[in-house]
Each structure stands twice: as structure tokens, then as C-alpha cells.
Structure 1
């Protein structure tokens, strides 16, 4: 029986289209912004003594490559061809042992029990059928293995992420608003529902730990961030130049409170989801 919800966008199409291309363009900004999370997941890998690690929704591979330095094998998987292509190029340039798979982790034919740790930095909130996806990831995990996922808490706790759409809603009334529980950044905001989902997918001892990460990037990258990422970024290129200019000015004012010492700084209010693959 399918667990798939209805009326959701095709994530493969999104991440192989505008969103994937935008993340390629903004790769250095995103790596800077979320460097603390990559360090956290690398530390978790060390603490657990994990040797075979799978990074789900790995994007351009920054976390995968960092973890690959402290373990026997780290493999990143992502549905986005633009991002996986960039990840592979970066691994070659860095002489990194990290490896990458272009596929949907929900359906990829992983070797049974191949990994002793599954990690993700904001890469698991986009599955069309999350129960099926986590059942597949459970099969890929050896008995006694573990899950460590970093996901966003609620939209309310992460006002920075919705700054753009709130600031310009009077100019773009049809702009989609991202909501808790919907497929997207805040899909895993509600611990009760996600705990039940993971238990249905045969994970045990599901725990949610609230962790606040300090996130920042250089002020010079703000316009790239505003116009290429998020809900505004998906529609910006299609707007006429006068409206684009008005949006940028409006957004600069909206992000002013986050500007400190030449950088954009905010708190990433996250859950770290921990679970076990029972022996």
C-alpha cells in the first residue's frame, strides 16, 4: 500500500530544475551558512564510531566530503543531477574519497545492511512517500546502526527562512508560503507525527533533540541568496525588471536586522532526529 500524500509537487522535477540550478550557483554561500551543521554531523560520526556512512539529500557534497575524512566510506545520494555533478567535481578537485549516487533515496536499490550510520543536513524533508523512503533507508542500515538527521523546527522558530516571502507578499500575492508539515523545509517540524512515521518505517528509539546552530554568510552574498533561493528565488527570474528592482530594495530592508559586522547572521532552530536500527 502506498503512503504517498496527494497534491504535492514533483521533487525530482524541482531539484533538477530551478531549485537545483540555484543551489549550484549558491553552493559556496550554503556551505558557509551551514558549516556548523557539517561539523556537528562529522562529530556525531566520530562519537558513534561509524565506518560506513550514507548522507541523504547530500546536495553539493560538503557534508559528505567532511565525513569521508573521518570514516572508511561516506556516500552521498541526491535526486538532483546538477548538484551531484557539482559534488563529484568538487570531490575530484579536493582528492576526496567521498562517493556520490544520483538517485532518489526513496527507491534506490541500496545493498542491504551496507551502512552503519545514515545522516542528513536538511535533505530528508522532500520525499514524496516518507514512510517508503525510511523503510528503504532502514534496509540499507545494518542491525545496530543509527540515524542522525538535522531538520528545521517550525517556521515560527525560524523567522529568517520566511523573511523574504513575508516581506514581499504585498507585491507577490500569489507567492507560496511554506508551512509546517507540508513537503518542504518544515515538513519534519512536528515531532509526534514524524516519530510515528519513523516507527512505521521500522526505526526504534526515535528521539528529537532541539539544537540551535549559528548560521551566517558574507553580506556580499545577500542578493544572490534573496533572488535565487527560497520561494522568492523560484519566481524572481520570471519577473519584469522594474518589479525585480523593487523586490530587491524591499528585501534589503527586510534583512537589515540580520546584518552584523559585515555578515548575515541568524539562528537555525533545528531538530536532531536520532533513531536506531534494532539488532
Structure 2
């Protein structure tokens, strides 16, 4: 794979895995949680045919891009809202399926968020989400934090739903049943070369947090060290890192 990196490119190897897991059916009403630029929402809308898909994200910029791309693709059964699924005023029983591609790990109150999502699903409706396994099982996180000299996460935690026991307790408390976990190992793409990968990683919250209190010389040295670490993962197809995720399935209780 060649070309610039964005979130869709980073997760390209997860796309086919997730589409199979979501199993969107014709006529489904689909909620996409943390939809970003809307790629997964648009995929769901196409699979649903006569159904519809709604993508939610807290980033106004991402939602604006998602709407523009949907218009360009001529999709009439998709909509996007800049909103937090934890607080969004869903109509009860209004969706058959809730999906998420690494978009559910950052709720301020996960119990409240998943209870709200459960209310939005019809009885028996499905939740299928991808969440990262622990940081030590994700080569990209280990490598970046080691290069930054910053082993402890700060700010939003992408691994907050890594523990199956914790996730199952949250989901059951929110009204879900039949909770299962599928182990998925697919690499993530960071760009065609180390410079592109560094540009991508500089946008991560852990990177900005590690750099913000450094003087210019120390920050430059840290970025050089990070670029070298990224270069160690350069292949003929670009910079790739091993990654590990759970695909979590659950059903709203009846």
C-alpha cells in the first residue's frame, strides 16, 4: 500500500474484518459510534440498501468531511451528527445495529454511554464494536511510548476497554446480553515512509503531551528518536505495526 496516511488508511486491514463482523443486512437501521470521516457509516449505508445509517462523532471537522464525502458518493440513506453518543437524545428502539471502529473507548462515563446506546437499539438489536487490546499487545503503542520516553498514558486512554471482564460488566449493566470477544490481529499502516509516519504520529495525543513541556532542543531530539523508531518498521509497502484488537458482540436484552 502506498499513499498518504489518514485514519481510514491506518485501519485499512481492519476494514474487511469489521464488515464481516457487522453483517449489515438490507433494511437495517445502523448507528455508527465515533464515525470520524464517515467511511464506516457509508459502508453500512450501502450494505443496508433500503435501510439507513447515522454516524455520530464529537469532532465537527470530521462530521463536516463525512457529510461532504457522502454527498460526493450520492448516498441518500446516510446522515451525520456532531454529538456524543453518551448524551445524544436517541428515540427509543430506533436502530437494529450499533457499530463502532475504535470509537467507544473515550466516554467520560462508559456505563451511561452504553446504557444510552442500548436504549437506542430495538430489543434484540446488536452491538458490534472494535476496541484495542492492552497497550503491551500493540506494537505501535509500545514503540511510540518507548521513543517518547513516556511509558505511562496521559489524556484519553485508547485501551480503556481492553479488559474483557471490565467490558462485559459494563455492557451487562447497561442492558446487553450475549457478550462475546473475538481476538483479531491485523497490522496498522502509518504511511509510505518514516517522514510521513512521523507527521501522522505527531498528531497523536500521547505525542503532543510528551513534547509540550520539552525545550526545543529536547523536543527535536525526541522527534529524531521517534523517526528512527518508525524507520525500523519500514517495509516495501510502507511503515506497518503489529496491532491487536477485540471485536465485541452483544445484544440488547429483551
Range of TM-score over shorter length: 0.7 to 0.9
SS in structure 2 of the partner of residue 164 of structure 1: helix
1:218 matched to 2:186? The reply is no
CA contact (8 A) 2:60 2:82 kept: yes
Do the aligned partners of residues 140 and 149 (structure 1) sit closer, same or farther apart at CA in structure 2, a change above 3 Å counting? same
2:122 equivalent in structure 1:
142
CA contact (8 A) 1:42 1:70 kept: no
2:239 equivalent in structure 1:
264
Aligned match for 1:200, one of 157, 161, 173? 173
Do the aligned partners of residues 94 and 196 (structure 1) sit closer, same or farther apart at CA in structure 2, a change above 3 Å counting? same
Give structure 1 regions of 4+ aligned residues with deviation exceeding 6 angstroms.
none
Task: Give the number of equivalent residue pairs.
Answer: 246
Do the aligned partners of residues 249 and 50 (structure 1) sit closer, same or farther apart at CA in structure 2, a change above 3 Å counting? farther
1:19 equivalent in structure 2:
none
Unpaired stretches in structure 1, ≥5 consecutive residues: 1-26, 170-174
Do the aligned partners of residues 189 and 39 (structure 1) sit closer, same or farther apart at CA in structure 2, a change above 3 Å counting? same
1:235-262, Cα deviation, whole Å (9 max, x unpaired): 5477654344322211121123321114
1:24 equivalent in structure 2:
none
1:165 matched to 2:145? The reply is yes
Aligned match for 2:13, one of 19, 36, 59? 36
Aligned Cα RMSD in Å?
2.3
1:159-182, Cα deviation, whole Å (9 max, x unpaired): 31232222121xxxxx57228xx9
1:229 matched to 2:204? The reply is yes
The alpha-carbon deviation at position 49 of structure 1 amounts to 5.7
1:52 matched to 2:29? The reply is yes
1:119-167, Cα deviation, whole Å (9 max, x unpaired): 1011001111111111100010011210101000011101312322221
Unpaired stretches in structure 2, ≥5 consecutive residues: none
Q: What is the CA–CA distance in structure 2 between the aligned matches of 1:87 and 1:240, rounded to whole Å?
A: 37
Do the aligned partners of residues 79 and 192 (structure 1) sit closer, same or farther apart at CA in structure 2, a change above 3 Å counting? same
Do the aligned partners of residues 55 and 257 (structure 1) sit closer, same or farther apart at CA in structure 2, a change above 3 Å counting? same
2:135 equivalent in structure 1:
155
How is 1:71-150 mapped onto 2 (pairs within 5 angstroms)? 71=48, 72-97=51-76, 98-150=78-130
Q: What is the CA–CA distance in structure 1 between the aligned matches of 2:71 and 2:218, rounded to whole Å?
A: 41
Q: What is the CA–CA distance in structure 1 between the aligned matches of 2:87 and 2:148, rounded to whole Å?
A: 38
Q: What is the CA–CA distance in structure 2 between the aligned matches of 1:243 and 1:116, rounded to whole Å?
A: 51
Q: What is the CA–CA distance in structure 2 between the aligned matches of 1:262 and 1:210, rounded to whole Å?
A: 25
The alpha-carbon deviation at position 101 of structure 1 amounts to 1.1
TM-score (norm 1): 0.80
Q: Point out the more displaced range, 76-85 or 124-133.
A: 76-85
1:51-104, Cα deviation, whole Å (9 max, x unpaired): 111110111212111222111211110112222122222222332343111111
1:252 matched to 2:227? The reply is yes
SS in structure 2 of the partner of residue 96 of structure 1: coil
1:15 equivalent in structure 2:
none
